[in-house]
A and B are shown apart, each in its own frame.
Chain A
Amino acid sequence: MTNTLDFFVLFLKSAVVAGTPLLFAIIGAIYNEKAGNLNLGIEGMMLLGAVAGFQAALSTQNPLASLLSACVFGALGALIYAFLTVTLRTNQVVTGLALTIFGSGMARFWGQNVMGQVLSESFSRYFRPLSFPFLAKIPILGPILSVFLEQDLFVYFGYAIAILSGIYLYNTRWGLNLRAVGGNTAAADASGINITLYKYVHILMGGALCGLGGAYLSVVFVPSWQENITAGRGWIAVALVIFTSWNPYKALWGALLFGGLDIVGFRIQSLNIPVNQYFLRMLPYLATLMVIIIGSIRKSSKHNPPKDLGNAYFREER
């Protein structure tokens, strides 16, 4: 009995870990979409952050430098996107795709000389999971809490980002204004909100968060450099934004669920259950596909995307 419980606790713990890059990316995408920008460059920004974070970790051995560099490069990718879509009003879909193409090229290029390298033990210890032995003594609640609490600091950072983003969106003036920008850009403009500023700031914030998500993969999760390290997680994040109905709190659960799907294959194999490994690797993608399809079938007024999502805004249009 305890064995199964241990297995589940262990499984859920690693689901939280696997979900963390998704969590950052989903919230990054939420900021973009609340600002009315459908950014399909999430994958590209994650890759930029992943490679920048990894390179900085290798050369400085400093975790903060690594995170900062991931943020900066994620945001730089977002800056290109913001300049094109907001200032030059290009098609958001194509520009996002271009950003993903650019980001993955950049990551491949920059990561080439460190392919397969592993981060040093002295660096990795910064991201070792915390342990709270007393939790084991509490029945039922103990194991549940340990799933979420016995994690590394980066995961805690993820929790903080999700909760702070929730407060920001729903309980601050800036968040209210941001929701208006995506909800009805012309109305927000007429109210006196600086549309361009809001779009830039939040697209850049989103980019920084996506960069962090990528860095979690390369610096903590894997932690070595491999080509295409994100393996489509950026795209899954774009889909999960719909699944979590643009709500950062719900993003926590969405990330956990898909983190679980990500590692379920690995866990099942370790139990020697004969399941086709290729099918298991398909699972997150299949599940994302289902999420999109089910989401579109049961459309409700409560879970609609921001109304002006994807529309370029031009005040002097006539």
Chain B
Amino acid sequence: MNRPVYVEMKNICKTFGVIRANRNINLSVTEGEIHALLGENGAGKSTLVNMISGIYTPDSGSIAIHGKPVRIHSPRHAIELGIGMIHQHFKLVDVLSAAENILLAEEGPPLLFRKKATEKIRKVMEKYEMEMDLSKKIEEMAVSEKQNVEILKVLYRGAKILILDEPTAVLTPQETDKLFGILRNLVKKGCAVIIITHKLNEVMAISDRVTVLRQGESVCTLETKNTNIRQLTELMVGKPVDLSIVRCPAEKGKLLLSVHHLSALGEHGVRVLDDISFDLYEGEILGVAGVAGSGQKEICETISGLYPVEKGEILFQGENIVGLTPREIIKRGISMSFIPEDRLGMGLVASMDMIDNMLLKEYVNQPGVSVDRRFAREKAVRVRDRLDIQTPGIGTPIRKLSGGNIQKVLLGREIDAKPSLLITAYPVRGLDIGASYNIYDLLQEQKQKGVGVLYIGEDLDVLLELCDRIMVLCNGKVTGITDSRCITKEGLGLLMAGESITALTEEVTPCKL
């Protein structure tokens, strides 16, 4: 532990309005170390690293980089100090190539000679043993490629301190392994890496030390080899919790939804859904796994009548609903609820209050030309009480609520409609552990009522624990549908990467049929 200290943060405080995002946080990171920042959503991890990368400035406290006290006032300043931030939502310009993105904001003679510049980038790639097509446009890249561009970009600019915000959220297990390989290589060459995550097994797998944050405070810093998942969980949540989901027994009912050879086209004629077939029964949760953008969104939207179908059938209790608009689907008495991924951009109206958001699905059934807000008001009160939604009042615009409460408004409205099919896309994204488990409970409750649930998820552990069956997508194709007890996480990862289920070994599919 006598290696030089790269980052030293002491007593950092930061408030946003009334929210105290960081309180007296301490953090120290040394050369050659992979340091994990662990905490729930809202624990203050992002706020903390955004202060190292110059996006926010702390209200009080001190930061020292390479032993020198500094006040980092802009991202540019952070870069000059050798700090490179890789954001969870990549900060890349889609229409530019990888090389152009890497060259952004670089000092130098005004005229840009692409060849010379590319040469320089190549050298950095060689040094850190990375590979990539520099002339490829970002919009044409896969997620893991984009991430590599981000990493190369900060290395090119001389970063010695790399910060990665939830880097594995969008990767398959195999891609995650590759990333970890790159990171280990980096610290060998004298870098320090801070990795933000809430996935405990990844902390155990990659980090040398871990700092746990809770409710804006740093709880403690531990040597990873001296701790375990159970202890970390307790530190993170603040009390002993059981992090396993108890899957309630499935009573598979009648066939509810049957999708046959469904195909759909995307923006530039690319096939986003390619010959998809699956069944969903009453009283089961069917999970959908896949790398982001594998067709999850399109499956949800074609079933809900929001996305045009190229060919194929969607049979709801035997009736083909392809080509029907959402309103026609409702008119046929089909009760289906869809919780879209983009809550404020699609499921709810951000500037309206809870009452009007309840009205959104309801108004059309009211007689006459005028809207009656009385029922919507009752419903808003009912949903608020049932799901314990924290809001100043049902007349408050919902964009002022927290992420978890916004999700509850959406989920509450949809469940209140008593659907027989519930489609949920990433329902726990952005929620903390407590709120997430609330949502899982709600979904299981629906399942026990006989509702068929289609659950689009990204956390493979949760998918395995929560769902009865899992369907895996890759590039718009189904690569496998399996009982969730009959596959491991690695197996899912291989399917997500495009392997066919028949090609999997017994090791990853313990009870393969």
Contacts and interface: CB of A to CB of B under 8 A. Distances in A.
Q: Do A and B come from one complex?
A: yes
Interface of A: 171-177, 179-180, 183-184, 186-194, 301, 304, 307, 315-316, 318
B368 to A, nearest CB: 35
A175 B104 CA distance: 10
B75 interface: yes
B94 A188 contact: no
B56 interface: yes
B459 to A, nearest CB: 23
B306 to A, nearest CB: 20
Contacts of B109: 173
B85 A184 contact: no
14 contacts: A173-B106, A173-B110, A176-B100, A183-B95, A187-B101, A187-B104, A191-B104, A191-B153, A192-B76, A192-B78, A192-B104, A193-B104, A301-B267, A316-B56
B111 A172 contact: yes
A173 B103 contact: yes
Query: Shortest 8 CB-CB distances between A and B: which pairs?
Result: A192-B76, A187-B91, A190-B91, A183-B93, A191-B104, A191-B105, A192-B105, A184-B93
Contact of A177 (B53, B105, B153): B105
Interface string B132-147: 0000000100000000
A183 B75 contact: no
Contacts of B139: 301
B106 A180 contact: no
**B interface majority secondary structure:** loop
Contacts of B66: none
Given A190-B55, A190-B85, A183 B96 contact: yes
Given A192-B105, A316-B16, 5 more contacts: A187-B101, A188-B105, A190-B91, A194-B74, A307-B94
Contacts of B105: 177, 180, 188, 191-193
A192 B96 contact: no
Given A176-B112, A183-B93, A183-B96, A188 B56 contact: no
A301 B111 CA distance: 27
Interface in B56-89: 56, 74-79, 85, 87
A185 B231 CA distance: 41
Contact of B268 (A187, A190, A193, A301): A301
B272 to A, nearest CB: 15
Interface in B99-154: 100-101, 103-106, 108-112, 139, 153
Contacts of A180: 93, 96, 101, 104-105
A316 B153 CA distance: 23
Contacts of A186: 91
A192 B76 CA distance: 4
Centre residue among A189, A192, A318 by max chain B CB count within 10 A: A192
Contact of B112 (A173, A194, A318): A173
Nearest to B89: A186
Centre residue among A177, A190, A192 by max chain B CB count within 10 A: A190
Centre residue among A174, A177, A187, A193 by max chain B CB count within 10 A: A187
Nearest to A307: B94
